Structure 1
Amino acid sequence: MSTEQSPAPETSVPTCYRHPGRESYVRCTRCDRYICPECMRDAAVGHQCVECVADGNRGARGAAPRTALGARGPVSAMPVVTYSLIGLCIAVYLAELASTRVVTDFMMLGRWVQPDGEVIGVAGGQWYRLVTTMFLHERGGSLGFTHILFNMWALYAVGPALEQVLGRWRYLALYLLSGLGGSVLLYLVDPSGAAVGASGAIFGLFGAYFVIGRRLGAPAGPIVFLLVINLVITFSVKGISWEGHVGGLVVGALIALAYAYAPAAQRRLFHLGMPVVTLVALAALVTAKTLALT
């Protein structure tokens, strides 16, 4: 038997869909209805209502359930994209340990003139470095093994929740474009600079977690604390590319804004369009900078 009560009188104050007399500002992450504390059930990001939890447990047939942001419910509970990214980064790191050429050939490098006059790096046509660098990590130096260790921990900590609420392709686009945004900002600000690491992509996930968490009514304190700590480290530890971190953070937050606040009737357009527009904008910036350097 349904537990829903009769509709409450029209009011400007949102109320729980099951308990119309109770004021609430928290939405279910799957159905987007307002829910009071009694109706909340913890989810990876935010909360779900009792009915959505029950539907998920039953594995309801018919149309696949969607999250509050329009993504189809995951085929499995396993965060496939997150684990694949972690596995890829670890595999590349092992390749780095076997050969330093992996780093020198694929790291982010804006413009470098060889002794014979050859220009290498992004300015020399090696655009792939903008992307491949996000799968590399420091072998030694000031960070050493802690570089990949922290990045993979951060990806494991925030990635599954975002993958669940965004769906796989939105989440992957967010990750890759955030990493690309970090590389592009480094190229614009310091074209002779070099960098490696998934940190730009990770900071993009941090920014997206904050934006989406706020949209879904999740507590912002933990992610804000994590962001502040990491930004302090970014600007206080020598040798860390602040451009990569800030570029990734800005791009990730902007994409997440489109994901989280797109009008329901045009959600698909926004979710497809924002990554494409972002990619085109970043490519245009790289092209303009390359022309200025050559």
Structure 2
Amino acid sequence: MTDQTVRCYRHPDRETGIRCSRCERPICPECMVNASVGFHCPECVRDARRDAQATGPRTVAGGSVAGDPRLVTKILIGLNLVVFLLVLALGKEVVTPELALVGAACNDSGCFGVALGADQWYRLISSMFLHEEPWHIGFNMLSLWWIGAPLEGLLGRARYIALYLISGLGGGALVLLLTAPNTATLGASGAIFGLFGATAVFMRRLRYEMRPVLILLGLNLVFTFFWAGISWQAHIGGLVAGALAAVGMAYAPREHRTLVQWGTAAGVLVAVLVVAWVGVARITG
């Protein structure tokens, strides 16, 4: 019979249920080194110190450690608030037709939408920062702070920005593919759902308790499908795109981490743009 007992890689005579959160090698209490996220084995600690001396301290995902690990999240929240104040000052009738994600629609001022020309594709980005109602922006910004800020510290700024934008674009792409062309879609929810997906991926990778994030995600999905006026296409598109990008960031092998992470992000981005292009072709065809 094969012995299935997990033993410390440095002390084969000792059983253990703990693994290094970086390399996943089994480690016993004597070999465990406390880290900001989980426990590390002695080899990973030495490698981290060597990397820190060569390139500066790194996050769990390999990004640079910033002085303010929540700066990007604060900036994103600030941009959303600025656009919301613009809506309050000028009126939703003026701002929303210019910034919302629309396939093709017309009003008294003329026709507009992503399907009407390359100069309209900016809506895939601008719609991510547009909110009309106080409850909408309030809920989204609280979610962005609670979910996004810890994830930014885990990823580092560059990877976090990439994940946020890819998630938001993923939501917009599925909207173009599955929503009526004249439907206006807006809000940061697609990007935030991508952050939910990424959080679940990293919690799985680091062997954290999954139930809290799965319950929170489940509740949000219930609201997505049973609350009137919510674009489930944006939420699901963002969730899938964010989770896929996060898999590459979380599980990239240490030797080729940067290449795999950015390669995965680029691959997901290309897939998202293809879906958006198919959605536009559906409208124009």
Unaligned residue ranges in structure 1 (runs of 5+): 1-10, 140-144
Of residues 64, 69, 72, the one that matches 2:56 is 64
CA deviation after TM superposition for structure 1 residue 113, in Å: 3.4
Q: Give the letter aligned to residue 114 of structure 2.
A: V
Task: Tell me, in whole angstroms, the C-alpha distance in 1 between the residues paired with 2:6 and 2:123.
Answer: 49
Structure 1 pair 37/233, CA: closer, same or farther in 2 (3 Å)? farther
Task: Tell me, in whole angstroms, the C-alpha distance in 2 between the residues paired with 1:161 and 1:244.
Answer: 23
Match of 1:136? 130
Aligned residue pairs total: 272
Match of 1:112? 105
Task: Tell me, in whole angstroms, the C-alpha distance in 2 between the residues paired with 1:279 and 1:19.
Answer: 44
CA deviation after TM superposition for structure 1 residue 274, in Å: 1.8
Task: Tell me, in whole angstroms, the C-alpha distance in 1 between the residues paired with 2:165 and 2:70.
Answer: 16
CA deviation after TM superposition for structure 1 residue 112, in Å: 0.9
Encode CA deviations 1:74-121: one digit per residue, 9 max, x unaligned. Answer: 1314311111111111111111111122222101111113468x5411
Of residues 139, 154, 157, the one that matches 2:143 is 154
Task: Tell me, in whole angstroms, the C-alpha distance in 1 between the residues paired with 2:155 and 2:104.
Answer: 36
Structure 1 pair 286/73, CA: closer, same or farther in 2 (3 Å)? closer
Task: Tell me, in whole angstroms, the C-alpha distance in 2 between the residues paired with 1:220 and 1:270.
Answer: 25
CA deviation after TM superposition for structure 1 residue 179, in Å: 0.7
* TM-score, normalization by structure 2: 0.83
1:178 and 2:167 correspond: yes
Task: Tell me, in whole angstroms, the C-alpha distance in 1 between the residues paired with 2:81 and 2:146.
Answer: 16
Task: Tell me, in whole angstroms, the C-alpha distance in 2 between the residues paired with 1:218 and 1:37.
Answer: 18
- Retained in 2: the 8 A contact 1:133–1:197? yes
Kindly report the root-mean-square deviation, in angstroms, between the aligned alpha carbons of the 2 structures: 2.9
Match of 1:127? 121
- Retained in 2: the 8 A contact 1:26–1:216? no
1:251 and 2:241 correspond: yes
Flag the structure with higher helix content.
Answer: 2
Q: Give the letter aligned to residue 169 of structure 1.
A: A
Match of 1:5? none
CA deviation after TM superposition for structure 1 residue 42, in Å: 7.1
- Retained in 2: the 8 A contact 1:32–1:68? no
Unaligned residue ranges in structure 2 (runs of 5+): none
Q: Secondary structure at the match of 1:195?
A: coil
Q: Give the letter aligned to residue 80 of structure 2.
A: C
- Retained in 2: the 8 A contact 1:179–1:201? yes
CA deviation after TM superposition for structure 1 residue 157, in Å: 0.9
* TM-score, normalization by structure 1: 0.81
CA deviation after TM superposition for structure 1 residue 19, in Å: 7.0
Of residues 76, 83, 90, the one that matches 2:74 is 83
Match of 2:200? 210
Structure 1 pair 215/97, CA: closer, same or farther in 2 (3 Å)? same
Q: Secondary structure at the match of 1:197?
A: coil
Q: Secondary structure at the match of 2:229?
A: coil
Task: Tell me, in whole angstroms, the C-alpha distance in 1 between the residues paired with 2:63 and 2:162.
Answer: 16
Structure 1 pair 89/35, CA: closer, same or farther in 2 (3 Å)? farther
Structure 1 pair 65/93, CA: closer, same or farther in 2 (3 Å)? same
CA deviation after TM superposition for structure 1 residue 265, in Å: 2.9
Task: Tell me, in whole angstroms, the C-alpha distance in 2 between the residues paired with 1:73 and 1:15.
Answer: 33
CA deviation after TM superposition for structure 1 residue 12, in Å: 6.7
1:291 and 2:281 correspond: yes
Task: Tell me, in whole angstroms, the C-alpha distance in 2 between the residues paired with 1:49 and 1:267.
Answer: 18
Encode CA deviations 1:178-220: one digit per residue, 9 max, x unaligned. Answer: 0111111111001332111100000000000001110011111
Structure 1 pair 42/86, CA: closer, same or farther in 2 (3 Å)? farther
Q: Give the letter aligned to residue 163 of structure 1.
A: E
Task: Tell me, in whole angstroms, the C-alpha distance in 1 between the residues paired with 2:149 and 2:8.
Answer: 28
Task: Tell me, in whole angstroms, the C-alpha distance in 1 between the residues paired with 2:54 and 2:279.
Answer: 51
Q: Secondary structure at the match of 1:65?
A: coil
